[in-house]
Structure 1
């Protein structure tokens, strides 16, 4: 793994905000699971791309837990954080948090891990920098 040059910032977290509209929901008025997964994958893609500064693809999603329903009208914050880096892989933990815009109440609704792979211009796995030492 290559080291991150001194002074170069590589974000370890990405946050996306979405509103849950009727076309995102099922017949019960709650967010489709597939929509939640798409938003989670997008956040994982963004943080991994910004960290690796190269093309990345999703290799795996694992242990996605849907804990609480997400309702029409909720604000959804999707938080993706790089937690581990291999030679070409990045493990990204993603949380989906809802916020009631009127009360401000926030709830962790969904959590999962995505494995993203960095690719070179020929589509082969390529090395990514090691995580910075804290």
Structure 2
């Protein structure tokens, strides 16, 4: 299996992502977490993936407008055609003060073929049909 099982993404929180309290709206945090999980799973599997489920999403603390959100996604389980990706988000104040644990979640990702049907991860379909 490829060693590319961890992905880091940093997102600055702008006004269009904030709620009326001036903090990251949960509805905007979820797609950021899903994107990090998608990238980690795609790199790990070497083929297209789709999300089958999200679970255990927890919001530990608020992320304020103007702060950065560092998302770290890592494949923690690989099955025949699916993977579990754990995503952790830390709030990073621009002022340089200490980072804060802010978000966690787990995502189940499934490898798919060109028709969107589940396939074994080992097929490495990005290279399917190519010759060396």
What is the TM-score normalised by the length of structure 1?
0.87
Q: 1:15 aligns with which of 3, 8, 21?
A: 8
Aligned equivalents of 1:104 and 1:84: distance in 2?
34
State TM-score, norm by structure 2: 0.88
Q: CA RMSD in A?
A: 1.1
1:102 to 2:95 alignment: yes
Task: Name the structure 2 match of 1:52.
Answer: 45
Q: 2:71 — aligned with what?
A: 78
Q: What residue number does 1:68 align with?
A: 61
Q: 2:121 aligns to what SS in structure 1?
A: coil
Aligned residue runs from structure 1 range 30-49, under 5 A: 30-49=23-42
Unaligned runs of 5+ in 2: 123-132
Deviation (angstroms), 1:71: 0.5
Q: Matched residues in 2 for 1:20 and 1:124: separation?
A: 36
Tell me whether 1:118 sits opposite 2:117 in the alignment.
Answer: no
What is the Cα deviation at residue 103 of structure 1?
Answer: 2.6
Does residue 26 in structure 1 map to residue 19 in structure 2?
yes
Q: Which structure is higher in helix share?
A: 2
Aligned residues: 122
Q: CA deviation at 1:121?
A: 1.8
